[in-house]
Homo-oligomer: A and B are copies of this chain.
Amino acid sequence: MSGVFLIGAGMTPFQRAALADLTGLAREAALLALRDAGLPAAQVGAGYFANVLGPQLTGETTAGQFVMAALGVRRVPVVNVENACTSGSTALWLAVHGVQSGEFDVALVVGAEKMSVPGLGLLHGGSKEIETQLGLVMPASFALRARRYMYEFGTTAEQLALVSVKNRRHATHNPLAQYREPVTLAQVLGSPMIADPITRLQCCPTADGAAAVVLASSKVARLRRRAVRIDASIQCSGSYENPVDLARWETDRRGCLLAYERAGIGPDDLDVVECHDAFSIAEIMHTEALGLCEPGGGGLLVEGGATTLGGRIPVNVSGGLLSRGHPLGATGCAQVVEIVQQLRGEAGARQVLGARVGLAQCMGGDQAADAKSCTVVVLSV
């Protein structure tokens, strides 16, 4: 138990919005979160801003200061955080410590990313590494993992593709997701091959967007009926690739175990999960790392319907990265926004009935040894 609560959550639509700017997107999400919390900007004790590509694409630094100023969050501490795909959830992790330390009672965490920049926008993560320069870009890296997983466990290309089918079906109920049309198994398998066995509909699309959450101490949260408890917030690093075992993510597994231990629960206690489905194989491997199935059982798990809305443990009911898109700095916060809405029973047609315990898992970083970051947040009501 962290003693810290989530009292507000909000996000923009995730979509290609070439004309939107980073500050505007961030401001929109933050205002929704503050309104949701019923708090004026003046009560925010610190601002944490997560973003990855701003400095590279548009030369922006101290972007968080501009965002907070645009919100009317003044005079308080403001920090800019970058941690690849886990930037938003790392900012949340830092904000939890700030509240725990007693430095302030309310923290605003905003993650935002502008990826579709006219004339720019190329994502070249890991370009420092010789493997990437030689062709091991993200889809290729995930394809290698998929091949190994299929070889070891007999997982089929159809099972991989079913992740996209499931998440796109979930997204039909999420008005903020970029792609809301369902797709069939044949469509997923028949879409252009990106890196065998991963087809285009098994890759998360580019998107612009922002998401924000408001954290509070128990003192502030006590009187709020809709407050959600943060039972665990974990961040850890490690190898992206396990050089001796491509089919397992040791870092991921370690982060999940730490989170369960901290929250005092196990996988069976979870009602709803958001995980980092940047590619279809990623969800399969994450569900395994989360202990939602036996080792090697990720393919059967999705095929059997357990992770579908209405199933034993619904995963990526928001539509996931595969449907929403993946604005890097925003994703870690957006996953938490979804869990908050689920635990409050405010998720509309995609509501997991009676959800009381949820988990958001995120992963990112370069492919080099120990350059990976993993975050896990456990929330409950």
Contacts and interface: CB of A to CB of B under 8 A. Distances in A.
Contacts of A366: 62, 65-66
Contact of A78 (B65, B254, B373): B373
A92 to B, nearest CB: 12
Contacts of A77: 93, 235-237
Interface string A341-376: 000000000000000000000001110111111000
A83 interface: yes
A55 interface: yes
B83 A83 contact: no
Nearest to A23: B128
Contacts of A100: 97, 100-102
Interface stretch (A68-76, A183-191, A302-310): A68-76
A209 interface: no
Contacts of A62: 82-84, 364-366, 371, 373
Contacts of A237: 47, 65, 68, 74-78
A322 interface: no
Interface in A22-75: 47, 52-53, 55-56, 59-62, 65-66, 68-69, 74-75
Contact of A80 (B82, B127, B251): B82
- Chain A binding surface, main DSSP class: mixed
A94 interface: yes
A75 B372 contact: no
B370 A68 contact: yes
Q: How large is the interface on A (under 10, 10 to 19, 20 to 34, 35 or more residues)?
A: 35 or more
Interface in A237-280: 237-238, 251, 254
A81 B80 contact: yes
A62 B50 CA distance: 13
Interface string A87-118: 00010011011101111000000000000000
A13 to B, nearest CB: 25
A124 interface: yes
A135 interface: no
A157 interface: no
Contact of A125 (B61, B66, B83): B61
Contacts of A93: 77
14 contacts: A61-B82, A62-B366, A65-B368, A65-B370, A66-B128, A66-B368, A68-B370, A69-B368, A75-B238, A78-B235, A78-B373, A94-B94, A100-B102, A101-B101
Given A62-B364, A81-B81, 20 more contacts: A55-B55, A55-B82, A56-B59, A56-B61, A59-B124, A61-B125, A62-B84, A62-B365, A65-B370, A65-B373, A69-B369, A74-B238, A75-B238, A75-B254, A77-B236, A78-B237, A94-B98, A97-B98, A97-B100, A100-B100
